[in-house]
Amino acid sequence: MELITSEVKSRETAAIIVTHDTRVTHHADHSVEITDGHLAA
């Protein structure tokens, strides 16, 4: 995750990461959760 985070910031771009592991959410600037098939920001 640190490598992805540093590359995204240095290239001034975005990355989309889909995971069930909530431990990686602290790396995100923004996260979206899907609950019962609906998006919850």
The position carrying tokens 């069930």 is 20
Listed residue (29, 8, 31, 10) closest to 20, CA to CA = 31
Q: According to the model, what pLDDT value does residue 15 have?
A: 94
CA distance 16 to 4: 10
pTM of the shown model? 0.63
- Sequence-distant (≥ 6) Cβ neighbours of residue 22 within 8 angstroms: none
15, amino acid identity = A
pLDDT digit string (tens) for 6-29?
Answer: 999 999 999 999 999 989 888 888
